[in-house]
Structure 1
Amino acid sequence: MATEQRKPLPFIANFAAGAIAGVSEILTFYPLDVVKTRMQLETGKAKHGMVGTLSSIVKEEGFGRLYRGLVPPLLLEAPKRAVKFAANDFWGKTYMGVFGESKMTQQLSILTGCSAGATESFVVVPFELVKIKLQDKTSTFAGPIDVVKHVIRKEGVLGLYAGMEATFWRHFWWNGGYFGCIHQTEQGQLFNNFVSGSVGGFVGTLVNTPFDVVKSRIQGTSKVPGVVPKYNWTYPALMTIMREEGPAALYKGFLPKVLRLAPGGGVLLLVVEFTLGVFRNALGPPYI
């Protein structure tokens, strides 16, 4: 493992590593995201599990539907993951300075992760909104641009930020769980990076799935003038879903989500650490 005295890599290196990792993860696991969204948008008692939803999509709509809405997250993934890891690096250095710590602690890693997630949320909202509307079974949109035009025409530019508050909490809690967990596992070997990233992805998903369900409901519902949306603010919406559909409804789509984000979290960390290693070797001392 490299010494702690090595010079931190420049911001652009963390940004590039996050971007490369994000694109790798989305190309590998995207169909599970489509299945997850479909399950979360289904109100009332769930009719299908993960396998049933997956086979239903393929049978009724064709295999290509599993990649419906891929363009927005693919365009988003590079800046999104880049912001995640660059923000985590920035907030980590900032908090260590504020609290007078010479190295990262468990408490600071959670605080840093939550702050990185909050930062990331502001970047992702419009892309998430477009993706959700394209993934909906009832969607008739021709593509991402059609969604954007429709939303702006009906709700104005700020309509693209519907679900901002729910997205904030979703990313806040996921990143806190993710970075808090990977701090516990010593890194430096690719296998360790994959395992710790997978554990972090599992814990983050366990914590944030209810917020993801609410976000999908808010962004999947079209606003009607003069009518207060049923799902509007995050915590009241959590109570509404739990009261009407039971506590288990807050974990709709959990299986495909965790099957994506647990190994996906491992892939993210593995690719990030591998890419940062390439940068260190290319730059040479004192970065190694």
Structure 2
Amino acid sequence: MFPSQESLKKNFIVPSPAGDVAAPTGANLYARFAIAGAVCYCDTNSDARTPVDVVKTRIQLSPEVYNKGMIASFRQVVAAEGAGALLTGFGPTAAGYFLQGAFKFGGYEFWKKTFIDLVGAEKASENRTAIYLGSSAIAEFFADVALCPLEATRIRLVSQPTFASGLLSGFSKILKEEGAIKGFYSGFGPILLKQVPYTMAKFVVYERTTELILNQIGTPKDQLAPSTLTTVNLGSGIVAGTVAAIVSQPADTLLSKINKQKGAAGESLTSRLVSMAGQLGVKGLFLGLGPRIVMVATLTAGQFAIYGDIKRVLGATGGVEISK
């Protein structure tokens, strides 16, 4: 599932260990963080994410049809529409998560360093949970600005298979018929409600779980073998992904619902959300949670493991550590 060190070295420039090669700093460093985040979030995950995302979205949007669990729903989709239906929305998924990964991971590193510089290393270490939460929230906001149009297109393609043939045609059709704001950003509120708490939980749980594991190991992080660090990242990512999936599930359901169809004339986004939440109830808001935990926990583990590996290969080791 994960690329080997040899594969990474073939595809990326590895800084020489020679003493005359300066470590990257500033924009050069954060560009490497962004590249690592984009790759780990998209190229290694979108193939696996798309089929599960299709089934999860169908369960959320048509519970009266897809009501027998994750495996049975997979079979229903394939039986009714063929195996190719499981890749519906692959284009927007890949493009959207590539952009989001760059903004999310690169932005998180940038804002974390900014806050550390603002309050000082000692105070930042004492208040590191707040630093993790604030940095991830700001990074996710900008990531969602980039993601929202592509996510709206993906959901429209999944919920209405005859709407368009793919990313470009679907994107163009929404833009032409509904305009940029209404067509692409009707779901911006729900996507913030979903992604910001999701990302905050994801990063803070990952950071604190990693800190706990490393304290139990008892060996300084910079002295651990790459394989050990990858294992630590995998374990922390599973825990972080599970918590993040549960926290963000209600908003994920509302996002799927609100992008399924156009709103009524004159109906505000807030009124639509309140109405949908009332109709769904608590049980309805958590439809599809099982498949989503499987998807998010697995992919989050992969993201952090691959992100760490690619950072090492790119020489992007200049991030600030504030864990005790």
Question: TM-score band (shorter)?
Answer: 0.7 to 0.9
Q: State the match for 1:24 in structure 2.
A: 44
Deviations 1:201-253 (A, max 9, x none): 111111011111111111111244x3527xx33xx656534532331111111
Q: Per-residue displacement from partner, 1:118-143 (whole Å, max 9, x unpaired)?
A: 22111100000000011115543222
Q: Which residue matches 1:174?
A: 198
Give 1:13's aligned residue.
Answer: 32
Q: How do 1:1-288 and structure 2 match up within 5 A? A: 10-22=29-41, 23-42=43-62, 47-102=67-122, 104=125, 105-137=128-160, 139-158=162-181, 159-184=183-208, 185-186=210-211, 188=221, 189-224=229-264, 226=265, 228=267, 232-233=269-270, 239-280=274-315
Whole-angstrom CA distance in 1 between matches of 2:231 and 2:113: 26
Inter-CA distance 33–284: structure 2 relative to 1 (3 Å threshold): closer
Distance change >3 Å, CA 246–CA 129, structure 1 → 2: same
Between 67-76 and 24-33, report the one with greater CA deviation: 24-33
For 1:13 and 1:48, how far apart are their aligned partners in 2? 44
Report the Cα distance in structure 1 between the residues aligned to 2:175 and 2:150, rounded to whole angstroms: 14
**Sequence identity of aligned pairs in percent?**
22
Report the more deviating stretch, 42-51 or 91-100: 42-51
Contact 2:156-2:163 within 8 A present in 1 as well: no
Contact 1:122–1:168 (CA<8 Å) still a contact in 2? no
Unpaired runs of at least 5, structure 1? 1-5
Q: Report the 3-state secondary structure (helix = DSSP H, G, I; strand = E; otherwise coil) of the residue aligned with 1:265.
A: helix
CA contact (8 A) 2:66 2:73 kept: no
Paired residue type of 2:239 = V
Separation in 1, partners of 2:317, 2:299: 30
Residue number in structure 1 paired with 2:4: none
Q: Is residue 114–residue 172 contact of structure 1 (8 Å, CA) maintained in 2?
A: yes
2:50–2:88 Cα contact (<8 Å) kept: no
* CA distance, structure 2, for counterparts of residue 277 and residue 196 of structure 1: 18
The one-letter amino acid of 2:193's match is W
Q: Normalising by structure 2, what TM-score?
A: 0.77
- Distance change (3 Å), C-alpha of 1:228 and 1:44: farther
Matched residues in 1 for 2:130 and 2:163: separation? 46
TM-score by length of 1: 0.86
Task: Kindly indicate whether the alpha-carbon contact (under 8 Å) linking 1:118 and 1:169 is maintained by their aligned counterparts in 2.
Answer: no
Gap change, CA 1:116 and 1:284, over 3 Å in 2:
closer
CA contact (8 A) 1:202 1:261 kept: yes
For 2:287 and 2:300, locate their aligned partners in 1 and report how far apart those are by CA, in whole Å. 20
1: CA distance between counterparts of 2:280 and 2:198?
24
Contact 1:242 1:250 in 2 (8 A): yes
My pick for the range that moved more, 113-122 or 268-277, is: 113-122
Could you say which structure has the larger radius of gyration? Answer: 2
Aligned residue number for residue 225 of structure 2: none
| Aligned amino acid, residue 155 of structure 2 | I
Shift in CA distance, 227/139, structure 1 to aligned 2, threshold 3 Å: farther
1:255, CA displacement in angstroms? Answer: 1.3
Question: 3-state SS of the aligned residue for 1:222?
Answer: coil
1:46 to partner: Cα distance: 6.5
**SS class of match (1:252):** coil
**Distance (Å, rounded) in 2 between the aligned partners of 1:268 and 1:284:** 17
CA 1:97 to 1:45, structure 2 compared with 1: closer, same or farther past 3 Å? Answer: farther
